[in-house]
Structure 1
Amino acid sequence: MPFNYRMFVFLAAFCCPLLVNAQLTPDQEARIDAVFRKWDQQDMPGAALAVIQNGTIVYQKGYGMANIEHQIPIGPETVFYIGSVSKQFVAMCMLLLEEQGKLDLDADIRTYLPEFPDYGYPITTRNLIHHTSGIRDNLTLWELIGRSHLDEIPESEIYELIMRQEQLNFEPGTEYRYSNSCYFMMSLIVERITDQSLREYADEHIFSKLGMEHTFFGDDNRRIIPKRASGYHENGEGEIENMIMRFDLVGSGGLYSTVQDLFLWDQNFYDNQLGERGQDLIKDMLTNGRYKDGSEVDYAFALQNDLYRGLRTVSHSGALGGYRAHYLQFPDQLFSVVILSNVTTFAPGDKAYAVADICLTDELEPKPNKGFAVASTTVRVSGPTPEIDVSDYSGRYYSPELDYTYDLEVEEEKLVLKIGEVYRFDLIPTTTTLFKMDNGWSVEFQKEADEAASGFLLNAGRVSGLRFVRSKE
């Protein structure tokens, strides 16, 4: 007998009075509103919220402005760019293609992308899904050639940049490192094996099936999007600035949606309407990957399984340009929070858990003493520095993998790395060859004792061991 989610919710509510309340109390609503108070103003961007319990949206609201210039407020129907929350829809496309017999998740991706370099190891679509491929991150590579994520990124240009890399970050299947290249490349796989764009395939096989009428992959930045929220940046002085984005790559991101449409997606986890395998398809979506040695990867099909205060969660976040998003589900409590925002300093993950604290008070274990915190991405370089002549390292360095040249200059007795007109980093020596930056990146020079550096390797987060050679001119 097929699983009937609505009947399940009815019986569960009848048989189990301790199940989460079907409606929020006025006090809960007021406390939730307080979480968003800073942004609930007519001169501020903000967010849309949907709180889902037992198969219905029990609270939905917009805070702040979708467009400050035209004084258009955010509502539950406002359309947002949702960043990497998009990835789970790409992962679902992979599972549907596998079900249709068009894709083997364990075949070498060169089966579908024969022009992709052979690094001496097979790389599978399953490696792409679970971020165990070792392929360097395309958005980091784009940043490393001095380009902005806000700009339009031609699909052919970014793919050529990925393929120009001489090596992987690691042997496929041996490590986990998040890489947007993986999901971008899956969009190419969809195109190759279906003769449809990712936008067309996802619309036919996911969005139209679920009634998600305002959800689509935005692969054309010239497209008019009704009710779209504009993106904004809050600078260091607390001033709000426009953040205009022309980015229209799909796969790693690219999805536009509303909290109301994402409610429909959320409910499909309980009563699957996609494909032909019912809940087995959802089971696969929620299954973590495996390394080559059989141990578990802490990442499923673009979803993260975790625990929060004793309760199971399924979640993913997204961020690009002026947009921030978070999807959080407590599957055992039939409870979810969806938050979509249009300003850089908004923290939707923190707020999603704050909403859960309010609504699931009787279900959650006590908070740990240190609370629930997100680790900082800023690394402060400190400690003694060796006595060196930084002029030995200054000069021009070329990377054949980027086809790009960096200038290393001495300013106020510091070595400075400049990437075009966009980025500037101080290089702080920790040894005579290893220099670090505040963002966690590092440069390891090749240098003989009393000679100028001949080159270096750059480790930039999601890109490791990028080779640079000193220019002779």
Structure 2
Amino acid sequence: MKKVFLFLCCSVAYLSFSQIAEDQDVDNIFAEWDMQVPGAALGIVEDGKLVYAKGYGSADLEHDLPITPSSVFYIGSVSKQFVTFCVLLLEEQGKLNLDDKIQKYLPDFPEYGAPLTIRHFIHHTSGVRDYLTLMYLKGRDYLDNSDVDEVYELIKNQKELNFTPGEKYLYSNSCYFMLAMIIEKASGRTIKEFAANNIFGPLGMEHTQFYDNNLDLVKNRVFSYRKKSNGIGFDNLIMRFDLVGSGGVYSSIEDLYLWDQNFYHNILGKGGQDIINKMHKEGVLNNGESAGYAFALHNDTYKGLRTVHHAGSLAGYRAQLLRFPDEEFSVIILANRADADPSSKAYQVADIFLKDKLKETQHGKKESEPEEEEISRTQEFDLSNIDLKAYVGEFYSDELDTTYKIYRDDDSLKLIIANADPKVMMVKGVDVFEAEGYRLRFNRSSDEVSGFEFDAGRVTNLKFEKQ
């Protein structure tokens, strides 16, 4: 008996010291934020329990309020998985079908020569241009309030898609903004009401909501910040943004723990794991290949272990929900500073807790750019023969109802996008320029510049005509 007792005492002591070491290692990851600066809330879930929940830094610099596991953050695109779950619940209720055309619920949405379905929207294979990018290109600040009808009109005003639906994957917030509208049409309730009654309420997520009215109060809300341009102090990013679908959810570590656990034992809708299995099913492109994106979830692997994850960001908010389903282990990080990288820190936490299960892997080189891009960058052309004056002028896009200006500044061209600061245009080929990541491909008529097509990541082939 003495030997057994001694063994148990040693075991308890070993576990305690081991846990203390893990806690210290975790705290070291967040040490730079464990003071009167914006920081983050951390939740670590293991075997069904929230084994670690802590706040680092300040939730409100003006009132010196600390971040806690109960602090409520804007979670950005992590919100999208609640949208897809709403869609699947409505499918379960027989109120919609994933292969329904978008126009069944939004009859005024344009036809683009190929069917656009709910499934395309879920997996970002629609080709519909991203509204946040369009708003920036139009000169709107996402921190300001934007009316739902105004945003919808902007999306509808686009005369073409980025690509044929199903041809490829390209992330588009427009899709989820419109999915929220479809949920309202199919259910007869706003997504705020539907999610509250069918997800947040049943799971006991008392501090989680789709925030669709910026006049509403949010208890325990954390405010978001970014470092000042001089690196000293922080700017308060006051956000009046209240569009839902593409984002819009406010939540806490404690509430997201409840959501995380429902993936193992679903109690929502009809119950059971069928709906959970659907959440992990990736979209399929027209060529039969995977789109690489499930129902607002990324299926992946990390050092030999299967992962499911999604990140989110807007203003100074940053979020990551990372799950290792086979290990029943999750890391939830919600941050309130624009320079935060919760995804990187989530994997650092996993390295500590799963060190005995992870396999060291070599990271391969980044994929090279598409061949056609390389060709355009390596074409031979003589800079001395380029007439910069030919590109000077004002250019109008009726899809944005906005005019851009190109002017000459000494030996360079500069581009003014709406009311943004001028951007230097760099020559990349014959009639091809880039300006801080944007690409302009100029068109000519009778050898005179007549306009250009504009590529901006999630928006391509936006047409401008010279005035």
**TM-score normalised to structure 1 length:** 0.90
Among 162, 166, 169, the residue aligned to 2:155: 162
Residue 326 of structure 2 is aligned to residue 329 of structure 1: no
Q: How far has the Cα of 1:196 moved from its partner?
A: 0.9
Residue 280 of structure 2 is aligned to residue 283 of structure 1: no
Aligned residue number for residue 40 of structure 1: 34
Among 51, 65, 68, the residue aligned to 2:61: 68
Q: SS at the partner of 2:132?
A: helix
The structure-2 alpha-carbon separation of the partners of 1:162 and 1:84, relative to structure 1 and needing over 3 Å to count, comes to same
Residue 296 of structure 2 is aligned to residue 302 of structure 1: yes
Aligned residue number for residue 409 of structure 2: 411
Task: Give distance in 2, aligned partners of 1:277 and 1:166.
Answer: 42
Which AA in structure 2 matches 1:389? D
Q: How far has the Cα of 1:23 moved from its partner?
A: 11
Task: Give distance in 1, aligned partners of 2:102 and 2:346.
Answer: 36
Among 213, 233, 255, the residue aligned to 1:261: 255
Among 175, 178, 181, the residue aligned to 2:171: 178
Aligned residue number for residue 4 of structure 1: none
Q: How far has the Cα of 1:403 moved from its partner?
A: 1.1
Percent of residue pairs bearing the same amino acid type: 48
The structure-2 alpha-carbon separation of the partners of 1:203 and 1:120, relative to structure 1 and needing over 3 Å to count, comes to same
Contact 2:128 2:172 in 1 (8 A): yes
Residue 356 of structure 2 is aligned to residue 356 of structure 1: no
Task: Give distance in 2, aligned partners of 1:385 and 1:113.
Answer: 51
Among 203, 207, 210, the residue aligned to 1:210: 203
Task: Give distance in 1, aligned partners of 2:435 and 2:139.
Answer: 17
Among 222, 242, 247, the residue aligned to 1:248: 242
Contact 1:22 1:58 in 2 (8 A): no
Aligned residue number for residue 456 of structure 1: 452
Contact 2:402 2:418 in 1 (8 A): no
Which AA in structure 1 matches 2:265? D
Q: How far has the Cα of 1:417 moved from its partner?
A: 1.3
Task: Give distance in 1, aligned partners of 2:367 and 2:209.
Answer: 30
Which AA in structure 1 matches 2:433? F
Q: SS at the partner of 2:124?
A: coil
Contact 2:137 2:418 in 1 (8 A): no
Contact 2:128 2:174 in 1 (8 A): yes
Contact 2:415 2:435 in 1 (8 A): no
Q: How far has the Cα of 1:438 moved from its partner?
A: 2.7
Which AA in structure 1 matches 2:322? L
Task: Give distance in 1, aligned partners of 2:21 and 2:272.
Answer: 39
Q: How far has the Cα of 1:389 moved from its partner?
A: 2.1
Task: Give distance in 2, aligned partners of 1:91 and 1:294.
Answer: 22
Q: How far has the Cα of 1:278 moved from its partner?
A: 1.1
Which AA in structure 1 matches 2:393? G
Task: Give distance in 1, aligned partners of 2:414 and 2:206.
Answer: 50
Q: How far has the Cα of 1:429 moved from its partner?
A: 1.1
Aligned residue number for residue 293 of structure 1: 287
Task: Give distance in 2, aligned partners of 1:311 and 1:425.
Answer: 43
Among 86, 89, 100, the residue aligned to 1:93: 86
1:233-266 CA-to-partner distances (Å, cap 9, x unmatched) read 1134323111111110000000000011000000
Deviates more, 1:383-392 or 1:238-247: 383-392
Which AA in structure 1 matches 2:443? Q
Task: Give distance in 2, aligned partners of 1:463 and 1:424.
Answer: 20
Residue 461 of structure 2 is aligned to residue 468 of structure 1: no
1:208-246 CA-to-partner distances (Å, cap 9, x unmatched) read 011000000010111111110011011343231111111
Which AA in structure 2 matches 1:386? L
1:122-142 CA-to-partner distances (Å, cap 9, x unmatched) read 100000000000100000000
Aligned residue number for residue 393 of structure 1: 391
Which AA in structure 2 matches 1:465? N
Among 423, 433, 436, the residue aligned to 1:435: 433
Which AA in structure 1 matches 2:305? L
Residue 125 of structure 2 is aligned to residue 132 of structure 1: yes
Aligned residues: 444
Task: Give distance in 1, aligned partners of 2:422 and 2:17.
Answer: 51
Q: How far has the Cα of 1:422 moved from its partner?
A: 2.6
Which AA in structure 1 matches 2:407? E
Contact 1:98 1:104 in 2 (8 A): yes
Runs of 4+ in 1 over 4 A off after TM superposition: 21-24, 381-385
Q: How far has the Cα of 1:395 moved from its partner?
A: 0.6
Q: How far has the Cα of 1:390 moved from its partner?
A: 1.5
Contact 1:385 1:431 in 2 (8 A): no
Contact 1:24 1:58 in 2 (8 A): no
Q: How far has the Cα of 1:408 moved from its partner?
A: 1.1
Which AA in structure 2 matches 1:115? D
Q: How far has the Cα of 1:357 moved from its partner?
A: 0.4
Aligned residue number for residue 119 of structure 1: 112
Structure 1: unaligned runs, 5 residues or longer:
1-20
Q: What's the C-alpha RMSD, in Å, of the aligned pairs?
A: 2.2
Task: Give distance in 2, aligned partners of 1:460 and 1:79.
Answer: 33
Q: SS at the partner of 2:383?
A: coil
